[in-house]
Structure 1
Amino acid sequence: MRADEGLRDRLIRVGGQLVDHEGPSAISLREIARRAGVSHGAPRRYFPTHLELLSAIARDGYTELTARATAALAETPADPRARLAALARVYFDFAATRSGRYELMFRHDLLESGHLRLRDTSLPLFLLLTDLVAQARPEPEPPAQVVAGALWANLHGIAQLWNWGSLPLATGATDPGALLDATLTAHLGPAA
C-alpha cells in the first residue's frame, strides 16, 4: 500500500470514529486532520470538499454493513424468513453501534451527489433484501421490491426511533427483538 493510500484510509477511519461518537455535525476536515495527527490541509489532497469526505465515510459504512450482513447470512439457515430476520438484526445492530455513520449513510444529498458512486454501494443491500422478500413471500402483489421498500422503511424507522429512545419509552421494550419480529410478520404474514 502506498503511503498516500494509508493516509486516505486513516482519514476515513478517524472521520468515521468522529461521526460515530459525536454525530455528523461534528465532522470537519480540520478536526479530522487534528485527530489523525496531520496538517489541517492534508485531507484536501484526498477530499477537496467536505461532501467528498462525508461520502467516503458513508461508503465505508456501507462496506462494513455489507460485511456484517454477509457474515451473518453465512451462518444462517437457507430459510428466507430466517435470513430476513438475521438481516434485520444486523441492520438494527449496525444502526445502534454506528449511529452517526448510519445517519450519514442515508443522507439524500450524499446519495444524490454522485461522489464515489455511493448509490451503487447501497443498492446491492436493497437487492438482497428484495430477493429474500421474493423468496419468503411468493405472492406477486404487491411486487417484492415494494414490500422490501416498506420493510426497509419500517426497519429504518425502528432503528432510528430506538436510537432516539422513543420506542423503548413508548413500548416499554428493553430488547428490539419483538419489534423486529412484528415488522417481519406485518410485511410477510405470520411465520409458517
Structure 2
Amino acid sequence: MAQEDSLRERLIGVGVDVVMTDGIAALGLREIARRAGVSHGAPRRYFATHHALLSAIAQRGFADLRARFEAATAAVTSPRDRLAALAHTYVRYALEHRGMFELMFRHDLLDSGPHTSAHGPRLRESTLPLFETIVALIAECRTEPAGRRRDDVRSSAEPPPAVTAAALWSNLHGIAQLWAWDSLRLALGTPSAGPAPGGDHLELLVTAALDAHLGPARA
C-alpha cells in the first residue's frame, strides 16, 4: 500500500511539473507516465479517468494557493485589508503559475462533479472554501463603518455578498488573464515583458477592482 501511495504521489508530482513547465495542453496520461518512468497503463491503476488525475494535480495548486493566502493575511486584521491581500496574492499567483492557474479553474475538465476520489476530497471541496472566504470577508466589510465611505448610503438593492464576491472574483480573474495576454498592457501603454507581475499598474488595477465592488477604502 505504501508503495502504491508513493507511485500515486509521484504521478501527481510529475503532473505538477508538466503543467508548470509546459502548460495544460501537455497533461496527457501517456506523457505523465513517460516522465514518471512507468508503463502507459500505470496511471489507470490509481486514477479511473484522465479527469481524476487532472483533479489531483489541481489539488496541489489549491493547496499552494491556500498556503499563500494564509501567509499574506497572517498579520492583517481588518476584513478590507485581508480581502486586498487575497486579491493581490490571487493575481500574482495567476501570473507566476499560468499553467497551474489555468487548470485549477477548469471545472468543465476536472473531477469536481459526481465522481468522488478514494484518495481525497472532490475538487469542489477545495475550491468552494476559498470562495466562501471571500464571501465572508465582503459581508464583514459591509458591517464595519470604517470599511465604507462616510457618504456611502446602503442601497436596498445591494447584491448579496455571494454575488459581489463572484463579481470581484471574475474581475480579478479577468485582470490576470488579460494582463497575461498583453491586452491590458496594450490598453494602458505599459511595456510587454512576458507573464511576470506588472508592478504599479497591476497593483492599481487590483485596487480599482476592490474599490469598484466595495467602495473606496477610507483613509
TM over 0.5, yes or no? Answer: yes
Cα–Cα, structure 1 residues 113 and 187, in superposed 2: closer, same or farther, change >3 Å? same
Distance in 1 separating the partners of 2:93 and 2:38 = 29
Alignment of 1:96-115 (within 5 A): 96-109=95-108, 110=110, 111-112=112-113, 114-115=115-116
1:154 alignment counterpart: 171
Task: Give the secondary structure class of the aligned counterpart of 1:10.
Answer: helix
Cα–Cα, structure 1 residues 163 and 114, in superposed 2: closer, same or farther, change >3 Å? farther
User: Are residues 1:63 and 2:89 paired?
Assistant: no
Aligned length: 191
* C-alpha RMSD of the superposition: 1.8
Deviation at 1:108, TM superposition (A): 2.9
Deviation at 1:113, TM superposition (A): 5.3
2:150 alignment counterpart: none
2:79 alignment counterpart: 80
203, 207, 210: which is aligned to 1:184? 210
**Structure 1: runs of 5 or more not aligned:** none
Give the partner amino acid of 2:163. V
Which piece of structure 1 moves more, 133-142 or 151-160? 133-142
Give the partner amino acid of 2:170. A
Deviation at 1:133, TM superposition (A): 0.9
1:120 alignment counterpart: 125
User: Are residues 1:165 and 2:166 paired?
Assistant: no
Distance in 2 separating the partners of 1:41 and 1:47 = 10
Distance in 2 separating the partners of 1:12 and 1:181 = 36
2:142 alignment counterpart: 137
Per-residue deviation, residues 11-32 of structure 1 (Å, max 9, x unmatched): 1111112112222111111111
Distance in 2 separating the partners of 1:135 and 1:20 = 35
**Of Structure 1 and Structure 2, which has the larger fraction of its residues in helix?**
1
2:44 alignment counterpart: 44
Structure with greater Cα Rg: 2
TM-score, length basis structure 2: 0.81
Contact residue 55 and residue 115 of structure 1 kept, 8 A: no
Q: Percent same amino acid among aligned pairs?
A: 55
Distance in 2 separating the partners of 1:187 and 1:100 = 28
Per-residue deviation, residues 22-48 of structure 1 (Å, max 9, x unmatched): 221111111111112222222111113
Deviation at 1:115, TM superposition (A): 4.7
Distance in 2 separating the partners of 1:188 and 1:94 = 23
Cα–Cα, structure 1 residues 18 and 63, in superposed 2: closer, same or farther, change >3 Å? same
Cα–Cα, structure 1 residues 102 and 49, in superposed 2: closer, same or farther, change >3 Å? same
Which piece of structure 1 moves more, 58-67 or 178-187? 58-67
**Structure 2: runs of 5 or more not aligned:** 144-153, 191-197
Task: Give the secondary structure class of the aligned counterpart of 2:102.
Answer: helix
Distance in 1 separating the partners of 2:4 and 2:127 = 26
Which piece of structure 1 moves more, 121-130 or 170-179? 170-179
Q: Which runs of 4+ in 1 moved over 6 A?
A: none
